Amino acid sequence: MLTIGEFAQMTHLSVRTLRRYHETGLLEPAHVDPSSGYRYYDAGQIPAAQVIARLRELDVPLADVQDILRTADPATRAALVAAHLQRLEDRLARTQAAVASLRRLLRPEPAGVAVELRQVPVQRVAAVQDTVAHADVLDWYAGAMAELDAVVREPSGPAGGLYDNALFSEGRGHVLVHVPVDTPVPAVGRIRTVELPAVELAVAVHVGPHDTIDVTYGELGRWVADHALAVAGPVRETYLTGPRDTPAAAEWRTEIGWPVFRVAGTA
């Protein structure tokens, strides 16, 4: 039998941590002296302790660690670990996006954004639309575009989207994604032919990955506040080049169109 100190040395788990694992039932000693309360461990418990240590290094919650240890089926254990690793990858992606935005925002002399005022005529599109939670937009967009790609084989221009202000301000709003078409398309599934109304837009192009598109939105919004009158209506995005065209994120080009009313003298 090993004392708690000896077991701690062998597993690189502190005595305090081993006591906490005992209290939570995660790793119970092989024997507890009823008179002294001293904890003793068996050498056969070392692998389990090492597995716990590795899982905790990956920030697996204690409850999930218990599920993994108590599951006898290897496939189920692998699925539990894989699910947590996916959560870590998602968190890393969010962290990288935040870092990219901060680097751009904290540049000593921001380059600013080139803005064009553009009259956009009525446009016929094949569209999928719905009210969507902000957190679900990317998954919803992927599904909607897959439907459009399956029906519209030769669109007359790049894909785009309309995003209501409520999507950003309230966390849930109306979203319409589309591809332009010359003639109406049959109604298939969620796809309908829609005519987008004419609008005047202040347009800026976001270059590169979408991680920092919020910064371009902010720069465009500042330009609009200084040079034009923002009007009610959804922001329009046009995906000149995107993930559907190339995996090279540096080559992506996204037009952001902010509905405006031109102020006299604005060029």
pLDDT in tens, 48-84: 898 888 888 888 888 888 888 888 787 887 888 788 7
pLDDT digits (tens, 9 = 90+) for 118-164: 999 999 999 999 999 998 998 999 999 999 999 999 999 999 999 99
Quick one: pLDDT at residue 156? 95
* Confidence band of 265 (pLDDT split at 50, 70, 90): low
* Confidence band of 234 (pLDDT split at 50, 70, 90): very high
Cβ count within 10 A of residue 2:
19
Mean pLDDT over residues 240-258, rounded?
A: 91
Instruction: Please determine, for residue 243, whether its predicted confidence score (pLDDT) is greater than 90.
Output: no
pLDDT digits (tens, 9 = 90+) for 153-201: 999 999 999 999 898 888 999 999 999 999 999 999 999 999 999 999 9
Quick one: pLDDT at residue 111? 57
